[in-house]
Structure 1
Amino acid sequence: MFVNGKEEKIIEKIHEIIGLNKEVIQKKFYDNIKKFRDYKIKKILLISSSYDYFKLDEEGKLNPLLSEWTSFVGEENPLSIVHLETGEECIERLKKEDFDLIIIFNKPTDTSIVELSKSVRNITNAPIALLSSDPSELSRIFKYNKEIISKAFTWNGDRNIIISIVHYFEDFINIQRASPTDFKRVILLIEDSIQHYSTCLSLLNEEIYKYLKAILNEKLSYEQKAIRFKRRPFVLHTDDFDEAIEFFEKYNKDLIFIITDNYIEKEYGRREIGKEIVKRAKEKNPNLPILIQSSEPVSREELKSEKIKFIKKNAPNLKVVLKKFIRKNLGQTEIKIKDSKGKDLRIKGIDEFEKVLKSLEDDIVFRYAKQNTFSEWLKSICEIELSSKCLSIENQAENPKSLKNQLINLLEDYNYSVNKSLISIFSRRYEEPSIKLYRIGEGALGGKARGLAFIAKLISEYGLDNIFPNLKITIPRSLVISTDIFDAFMENNNLYDLDFYNLPDHRIAAKFMKAELPATIIGDLRAFIKKTKKPLIVRSSGLLEDSLMQPFAGIYESVIFPNESWEEDVRFQEICNSIKYVYASTFFEKARTYIKNIPKNISDEKMAIIIQEAVGLKHENYFYPTISGVAKSYNYYPFPSCKPEDGIVYMALGLGKYIVEGGRSYAFCPEKPKISLYGTSKDYLKYSQVKYYALNLKPVYRFTNFDEEVALELLDIDVAKKQGILDKIASTYIPEDDKIYPGIYDNGYTVIDFAPIIKYEAIPLVKAIRLLLKISEIALRNPVEIEFAVNIPKEENNKAELFLLQIRSMMPLEKRIDIDIDKIPKEKTIVNGEISLGNGVVRGIKDIIYVDQNTFDLLNSTQVVNQIKNMNKKLMEENKPYILIGPGRWGSADPYLGIPVIWSDIAGVRVIVETPYKERHIDPSQGSHFFHDMMASNTLYLITKRIEDVNWEWLREQRVVEDTEFIKHVETQKALKTIVDGKISKGIIIIDE
């Protein structure tokens, strides 16, 4: 099976990072996503008279018939038919348009069937099928024109023949494309009478349709239905003796039954195909069911076998016998067994199978298993891999109790592997622990939910969930309420009539709180809240939000609550109010402003909701994950010895809100995690995390205030220390040694540096993050950002869990730099940054603070700090962002290398420029704590190599607002534009014209 370039790269990356054998990875990939039965006929050109077409369509019944088959798996492009009446129209249409199949129904009015077929064949290689109500004429035409006409069928007054024609060609082509190792179930029809094989094909399709309806029940997800649908039986027909023998020999292990004529006409006489097939079946497949239909008597002694049936073609009950034979041998769609009390039990699905197994006595399960009852049923409902494993247990297990336990374990593993990456329709039972994603509604999932589904699929397809022995990779269990529920909520409560632009946020929220959720979801929400008592977070998932190319993080609200009350009604009310509040945030001022600026329209947004089990562990009255983090595959502020494409990871103790708000998180490069990105040991201590967010589990219910912080508490890290959480993620700074040691010690200061994990690999978290970043970037063909959380249990024997919360592109369309910096004329450039950090465009700035190169000396660098600090304070009070220009390392601890400001001294800056000091180039200030603050604020950073890279003359011409001995604050007449292209690490400042 062919693997495309993208999958090959992902497999290569898994091999490179983990060392897993490529063949093993490739097998997982094949097992999960290989293409099978992918040839489909979608467009048919039908040539017939108006009356013949009327017979087929009969007041619009044809199109619904065609869509019946595709409705099993919800295909968006069902079969379509273009009807034309003349051969001339047909030829003209074929010259302009491609078709997958041409059907000629009886003779056209302006030409013969043969002449039209020849003309069609000169234009296209698509199959040509003849359909006629005159069997004798049809046989004569087809017999002498088989090199032009692909197949002939008779019209028996049943429009289902169109489906039979389509499936005949699809099956014939798809089975040739299939690999010999692919699982196939094949029905072989051997018949040379066009009348009889047309009838048989229609009956076969009719029974297969009923069989599919039984095994593709509504409980299955789309993916499960698609797999079973693709694995439906192939129907192969031949009217040739030699081809019949060839098909039998080639597919004898795949055959489920054969329907055959007893004699087939050949050029050199009649051949007894029925007898020959029976003879070969006895040798190679003695249990193969065979039905022989013939116009003449058949010697029953020669064909004696329980598996061989015979029927005369002219028998009045021919169709009844054919249907019964087909239905019986397609396979069981359910199991019928008796329990110890003689009660009949029916098993129609795998979920029922597991329940019944657990309830039955060991010896009853053993008896049925030894008859291969379970494996045969699983095979007949197209669960092939599961059937194979089940058969192995049935044949090998000797102890009834052991056999039953093995079967139950097999089903539990199956349910987990199948359901973990699927979005299943929510069932009020909500019992299957392996299903991670449920949905309510038929609308869109929204950006966040799509991202969650994408990453779950990636984990499943490449078997990443258990790829590490002591770290499980997964997603939180989530319920998605799709956008059609939002539409119904808005319309039912007339909320679109509100004047959102003239209402404050609290008034909008109050209006939404009074509104009623659609009645269609109330029962599902009650069932959901009844089944879970874990803390919940209600998140937005807008169509625009966090889509792979739109950065909407933090624009809408989310609500987190303990969900611990014993009163189910209270918890139900809490979740309903949370949903309504998140809906309301679609129209809050922050969202309206953002959407207007991107530019989009508020009416473009539709809101889905994700109700998610919060990630964390319970510690006394608090709930929080051991680690929260954000990982980026591309770092616009690369550290020394790291490249931009090496990425960056930020981690913190507790809930991720701490990182989002710019708290003191720990940063490292996933490609070189052991390289320190900080300064001295004291720097680690000074800038280490000291607070963290946790969910307070004490029941607090406030329906009027739905700020996320209502249930959150900012704790001192000593709380986590007392709870024994820090042993696995922290180190201790010992002042006497001026060193940091991994672990917690009493005679020092705690440093949250995750050294046990990052440096000493207590769990393979760094390797897992690196792998996920690389393969996600390959899959999306874009740099990615992943939000995650980690639970590290206190018990040594339990696996740590890495939960992936969200994935999005780092390169939204509006932040892509489409200006060629190198082509901008030098005379228009104010600053030319040969090395630049960050990515994006900053516009509208008119204020510049710059260090006067004529008066400044590094001996005075400490003096300059307070002067800059005072100017920064004034500009921040006036809400004026500014550009800062000066020599050497900004934020350097060494005053002889640059100006030793700390970030709070220049917090209002949007663009920083480093210049050489008196023709002497000093290495850029990357790697310090100052640098981390700059990254967190997305400040653009330009580094010049030569004095002339800054237009000093132009700067001196600008209006001076304030100056000191060493620095000047100037205001430009026209606004400036700063452009930094993160992909080439270059930047410029120009006048914004």
Structure 2
Amino acid sequence: MFVNGKEEKIIEKIREIIGLNKEVTQKKFYDNIKKFRDYKIKKILLISSSYDYFKLDEEGKLNHLLSEWASFVGEENPLSIVHLETGEECIERLKKEEFDLIIIFNKPTDMSIAKLSKSVRHITNAPIALLGSDPSELSRIFKYNKEIISKAFTWNGDRNIIISIVHYFEDFINIQRASPTDFKRVILLIEDSIQHYSTCLSLLNEEIYKYLKAILNEKLSYEQKAIRFKRRPFVLHTDDFDEGIEFFEKYNKDLIFIITDNYIEKEHRRREIGKEIAKRAKEKNPNLPILIQSSEPVSREELKSEKIKFIQKNAPNLKVVLKKFIRKNLGQTEIKIKDSKGKDLRIKGIDEFEKVLKSLEDDIIFRYAKQNTFSEWLKSICEIELSSKCLSIENQAENPKSLKNQLINLLEDHNYSVNKSLISIFSRRYEEPSIKLYRIGEGALGGKARGLAFIAKLISEYGLDNIFPNLKITIPRSLVISTDIFDAFMENNNLYDLDFYNLPDHRIAAKFMKAELPATIIGDLRAFIKKTKKPLIVRSSGLLEDSLMQPFAGIYESVIFPNESWEEDVRFQEICNSIKYVYASTFFEKARTYIKNIPKNISDEKMAIIIQEAVGLKHENYFYPTISGVAKSYNYYPFPSCKPEDGIVYLAIGLGKYIVEGGRSYAFCPEKPKISLYGTSKDYLKYSQVKYYALNLKPVYRFTNFDEEVALELLDIDVAKKQGILDKIASTYIPEDDKIYPGIYDNGYTVIDFAPIIKYETIPLVKAIRLLLKISEIALRNPVEIEFAVNIPKEENNKAELFLLQIRNMIPLEKRIDIDIDKIPKEKTIVNGEISLGNGVVKGIKNIIYVDQNTFDLLNSTQVVNQIKNMNKKLMEENKPYILIGPGRWGSADPYLGIPVIWSDIAGVKVIVETPYKERHIDPSQGSHFFHDMMASNTLYLITKRIDDVNWEWLREQRVVEDTEFIKHVETQKALKAIVDGKISKGVIIIDE
């Protein structure tokens, strides 16, 4: 999955955090598969006359053949063939360009094959293959030039010979590179007649192609197909007696069948290879199928085995016999079973196998299993690990019921392990419980969905899902509707014709609600809603959203609904309307305003949709997770004794909306989780969560009003206490002792500090989050932010579940600056930021919006929002960046802690300053979307600790452009410059002279 040493670092980090002896088995498996059969011929130089090339290609059929083989594993660019007509052209081209294989098809017009081959060999070590129409002439040339020409083949009018030539060289090199412990299936061809081995190789490749077509069905993912394709049989050919014996001895246990001539001639001596191989096979591999072909008859008594067949080379049905022999012994691509009523059942895939196992009688399964039917079939379709486990069950199980249950469990485990990281095409007929990500459409997945896919891949490849004994790591089951469906929706309903810039949000939403979703997805949505009655959340996944450099987090809408109605039509209508509403939010004022501030146009955005099963547990009429959280691998507000790179984690009870909006949450450093960040025991009470969001499960009928608050309720923490949620996550402050004790007690105050988990490790949540942050940061090469939720069941024996909801890059610090802030003269300083976020210099600002300290009170913070929003809009229209100065937490959902703006309200700002409120310092907000957007916009953020850290007298002397009771917009005569030094997290705003 990763390069440049990332994999080693990730594995090392996993071992460091969870224990030195933990094997990352799934990753090891993928690594081995990746290295197996990795040599490929990609570029061929073909020298032939125009007519010979026409015979090969015949209106593009050769390229079509090459494409068909490449399509098995989704390769868009099959191997390329460069055609030249003369030897001179060939030599000149080889001096300039590298090729993996050179094929000489008959004699070129300007030189002999021997001369051309010698010239080529002086330039390159690439194999040289000779392809000829005249077998006797071909044999003569090859016989005297074997040291130069790698292999000779006869042209029999079948363009498949090109594939045979390519696969011959690939197989020969790859089998030598393979480890002795690698699983291999080998076909051995021993034949010294160029005419006959060319025919056999073409037939073998033709039958292998049909075999692959049967086992690489459309339900398999790219990875599953790639694994099976790599494990197709090797075809080894030799025309030498001694090498034939050597191959047999070396690959005896890997052989699936042998096709051999009876006599091999070498140095005028005929040696009976067929009988020698048959004799050795009887001793070492008596069940090995062998086909002996010879110009002379062989008696049945001489063969002495039912597994050994004979055919005369001049027999009219030679090709038919060869094809039947190859097809029979390549392996079963399906199983045929008779049920108790004598009805034939055909099993073609693992999903069908599982269904048949569950429906078939125990004794019938037992009978077939004891004949190793299932394990042999699994081996033949290249499911090697599964076959090995199946064989063990077949051989060890003592009764039919036990065997059946073991086989079903084996298949369920297998399906989970291979499907958990896949994005599978949604099927109305078939649903695999282990698949977490489905898709509808062929377009892009968008930012959030790509993040989910990345997380799923990480979990799967490194075996993280069950890496902890009492905590399962996973993602919610999700259906992604790709961007091409959005395009179709917009075009089919002529929605691009709307004047979005002059329509209010509710009018845009109404237009979208009246539009029709594309007919191609209606059936899939009905099937999806029929299969689930869990609460659902419909989320945006724009192409620009949550990407590395584009700050779109939280700009579009999400819709959450209970999905509880017994009426399927009601639930179907809810999901359709939710999708249309999220589509509409692409063009809402919030998004339009936001896009103005980045070098993008609203038409650049394409919207994908994620329909996700909401994470949580049912508690009476409410649904919510035990814990929601946001984890960051880099903390721009490091606490004492913690470094920025130690990261920060925020936890809260209930839905994550509470954290994202900047509500009270519990923060800790994942590297030092037991260090208190809140001072004294009494201080915990000030910061402790007192409310939380939950989904109200009572049916809510709404088709035009999609405000999230309709479905969500902000509940008092006492509700969770009554529902028994706090027992495993909270503590109690006892005033008499002035101490906090883990657990819930009647004679104190509830403190949501998650102490049982963080300090006493009842579940390894801290370790899991720390691990995920570290390996994600290694993988993405940037600080990361992860949103997650945790379900803790009330039953002691059940595992807790950690659901990863989203991952994105945090914006890294810009290049460090060389300005020494401490040496800047005080008379030039307008703002002194003791704590600052970001790194860099912003010049040329002349506009400031500031909150008047003399008149403002936090009781008025809500009404100030619109005043700031309107000033922001005017300044953006005039293309004037500005500085924003005011008290308390900017972006807080709690108006008593600061001014509750959202990012689009202040999207034109370049520098933000937090000041104390009436000499009282309020800790900076950690609302995820607000701060992510601020960092992504490269906005500098300065926090002052004292009133006089801002030169208020100078501010009041500036020209007032607009003012209200609490807000002033002033314009300075001289431009200002803001400087933040990321090394020391300090910043200043000065007059730029």
Band of TM-score, shorter chain: 0.7 to 0.9
Alpha carbons of structure 1 residues 219 and 983: separation in structure 2 relative to 1, 3 Å: farther
Alpha carbons of structure 1 residues 474 and 169: separation in structure 2 relative to 1, 3 Å: same
| Contact kept in structure 2, 1:835 and 1:942, CA below 8 Å | yes
Moved more, 282-291 or 310-319: 282-291
The C-alpha deviation readout for 1:877-905, integer Å capped at 9, x for no partner, is 99999879999999999999999999999
Deviation at 1:737, TM superposition (A): 2.2
| Contact kept in structure 2, 1:133 and 1:154, CA below 8 Å | yes
Deviation at 1:169, TM superposition (A): 1.6
Alpha carbons of structure 1 residues 692 and 817: separation in structure 2 relative to 1, 3 Å: farther
Deviation at 1:500, TM superposition (A): 2.8
Alpha carbons of structure 1 residues 21 and 825: separation in structure 2 relative to 1, 3 Å: farther
Deviation at 1:260, TM superposition (A): 1.0
SS in 2 for 1:187: strand
Number of the residue aligned with 2:495: 495
Cα distance in 2 for residues equivalent to 1:366 and 1:84: 61
Deviation at 1:28, TM superposition (A): 4.6
Alpha carbons of structure 1 residues 905 and 63: separation in structure 2 relative to 1, 3 Å: closer
The C-alpha deviation readout for 1:199-255, integer Å capped at 9, x for no partner, is 111111111111111111112222222211111111111112222222222211111
| Contact kept in structure 2, 1:652 and 1:689, CA below 8 Å | yes
The C-alpha deviation readout for 1:508-543, integer Å capped at 9, x for no partner, is 222222222222211111111111000111111122
> Percent identity, aligned pairs only?
97
Alpha carbons of structure 1 residues 718 and 932: separation in structure 2 relative to 1, 3 Å: farther
Moved more, 231-240 or 263-272: 263-272
Moved more, 869-878 or 351-360: 869-878
Deviation at 1:961, TM superposition (A): 11
SS in 1 for 2:35: coil
Deviation at 1:303, TM superposition (A): 2.2
Number of the residue aligned with 2:455: 455
Deviation at 1:710, TM superposition (A): 2.4
Moved more, 919-928 or 421-430: 919-928
| Contact kept in structure 2, 1:29 and 1:462, CA below 8 Å | no
Matches within 5 A, 1:796-875: 796-811=796-811, 836-838=836-838, 846=846
Deviation at 1:466, TM superposition (A): 0.8
Deviation at 1:94, TM superposition (A): 2.7
The C-alpha deviation readout for 1:706-750, integer Å capped at 9, x for no partner, is 233321111111111111111111112222222222111122222
Deviation at 1:845, TM superposition (A): 5.5
| Contact kept in structure 1, 2:733 and 2:739, CA below 8 Å | yes
The C-alpha deviation readout for 1:179-199, integer Å capped at 9, x for no partner, is 221111111111111111111
Alpha carbons of structure 1 residues 932 and 113: separation in structure 2 relative to 1, 3 Å: closer
The C-alpha deviation readout for 1:42-84, integer Å capped at 9, x for no partner, is 2222222111111112122221111001112211222222222
Moved more, 827-836 or 503-512: 827-836
Alpha carbons of structure 1 residues 972 and 58: separation in structure 2 relative to 1, 3 Å: same
Moved more, 317-326 or 946-955: 946-955
| Contact kept in structure 1, 2:446 and 2:545, CA below 8 Å | yes
Moved more, 520-529 or 89-98: 89-98
Moved more, 920-929 or 140-149: 920-929
The C-alpha deviation readout for 1:617-645, integer Å capped at 9, x for no partner, is 11111111111111111111111111111
| Contact kept in structure 2, 1:430 and 1:531, CA below 8 Å | no
Alpha carbons of structure 1 residues 588 and 978: separation in structure 2 relative to 1, 3 Å: same
Cα distance in 1 for residues equivalent to 2:824 and 2:216: 62
| Contact kept in structure 1, 2:662 and 2:894, CA below 8 Å | no
SS in 2 for 1:301: helix
TM-score (norm 2): 0.88
Moved more, 864-873 or 221-230: 864-873
Cα distance in 1 for residues equivalent to 2:963 and 2:440: 63
| Contact kept in structure 2, 1:221 and 1:425, CA below 8 Å | no
Alpha carbons of structure 1 residues 338 and 881: separation in structure 2 relative to 1, 3 Å: same
The C-alpha deviation readout for 1:807-834, integer Å capped at 9, x for no partner, is 1111279999999999999999978979
Alpha carbons of structure 1 residues 425 and 774: separation in structure 2 relative to 1, 3 Å: same
SS in 2 for 1:813: coil
Structure 2: unaligned runs, 5 residues or longer: none
SS in 1 for 2:612: strand
Moved more, 428-437 or 886-895: 886-895
Cα distance in 2 for residues equivalent to 1:394 and 1:774: 43
Moved more, 262-271 or 946-955: 946-955
Moved more, 93-102 or 951-960: 951-960
Deviation at 1:796, TM superposition (A): 1.2
Alpha carbons of structure 1 residues 696 and 231: separation in structure 2 relative to 1, 3 Å: same
| Contact kept in structure 1, 2:594 and 2:904, CA below 8 Å | no
| Contact kept in structure 2, 1:633 and 1:773, CA below 8 Å | yes
Cα distance in 2 for residues equivalent to 1:317 and 1:897: 90
TM-score (norm 1): 0.88
The C-alpha deviation readout for 1:855-885, integer Å capped at 9, x for no partner, is 9999999999999999999999999998799
Moved more, 909-918 or 339-348: 909-918
| Contact kept in structure 1, 2:659 and 2:928, CA below 8 Å | no
SS in 1 for 2:467: coil
Cα distance in 2 for residues equivalent to 1:918 and 1:553: 32
Alpha carbons of structure 1 residues 406 and 672: separation in structure 2 relative to 1, 3 Å: same
Alpha carbons of structure 1 residues 281 and 964: separation in structure 2 relative to 1, 3 Å: closer
Deviation at 1:440, TM superposition (A): 1.4
Residue 546 of structure 1 pairs with residue 546 of structure 2: yes
Moved more, 431-440 or 540-549: 540-549
| Contact kept in structure 1, 2:662 and 2:926, CA below 8 Å | no
| Contact kept in structure 2, 1:549 and 1:808, CA below 8 Å | no
SS in 2 for 1:253: helix
Computed over aligned residues only, the root mean square deviation of the Cα atoms, in angstroms, reads 5.9
Alpha carbons of structure 1 residues 252 and 825: separation in structure 2 relative to 1, 3 Å: farther
| Contact kept in structure 1, 2:154 and 2:194, CA below 8 Å | yes
Deviation at 1:503, TM superposition (A): 2.9
Deviation at 1:474, TM superposition (A): 0.3
Deviation at 1:89, TM superposition (A): 2.6
| Contact kept in structure 1, 2:171 and 2:236, CA below 8 Å | yes
SS in 1 for 2:237: strand
Alpha carbons of structure 1 residues 753 and 992: separation in structure 2 relative to 1, 3 Å: farther
Moved more, 317-326 or 184-193: 184-193
Moved more, 652-661 or 355-364: 355-364
The C-alpha deviation readout for 1:591-615, integer Å capped at 9, x for no partner, is 2333343312333322221111010
Moved more, 112-121 or 244-253: 112-121
Deviation at 1:916, TM superposition (A): 16
Cα distance in 2 for residues equivalent to 1:224 and 1:874: 56
Alpha carbons of structure 1 residues 514 and 116: separation in structure 2 relative to 1, 3 Å: farther
Deviation at 1:662, TM superposition (A): 0.9
Matches within 5 A, 1:71-470: 71-267=71-267, 269-470=269-470
Deviation at 1:426, TM superposition (A): 1.1
Cα distance in 1 for residues equivalent to 2:657 and 2:497: 34
Alpha carbons of structure 1 residues 314 and 725: separation in structure 2 relative to 1, 3 Å: same
Alpha carbons of structure 1 residues 988 and 290: separation in structure 2 relative to 1, 3 Å: farther
Alpha carbons of structure 1 residues 679 and 656: separation in structure 2 relative to 1, 3 Å: same
Deviation at 1:485, TM superposition (A): 1.9
Alpha carbons of structure 1 residues 267 and 838: separation in structure 2 relative to 1, 3 Å: same
How many positions carry a matched residue from both structures?
993
| Contact kept in structure 2, 1:726 and 1:744, CA below 8 Å | yes
Moved more, 120-129 or 219-228: 120-129
Cα distance in 1 for residues equivalent to 2:903 and 2:679: 15
| Contact kept in structure 2, 1:294 and 1:313, CA below 8 Å | yes
Cα distance in 2 for residues equivalent to 1:290 and 1:274: 9
Structure 1: unaligned runs, 5 residues or longer: none
Deviation at 1:489, TM superposition (A): 2.0
Cα distance in 1 for residues equivalent to 2:928 and 2:444: 45
Deviation at 1:507, TM superposition (A): 2.6
Moved more, 239-248 or 50-59: 239-248
Cα distance in 2 for residues equivalent to 1:928 and 1:206: 58
SS in 1 for 2:741: strand
The C-alpha deviation readout for 1:120-145, integer Å capped at 9, x for no partner, is 22333222222111111111222222
Cα distance in 2 for residues equivalent to 1:897 and 1:577: 36
Deviation at 1:840, TM superposition (A): 6.9
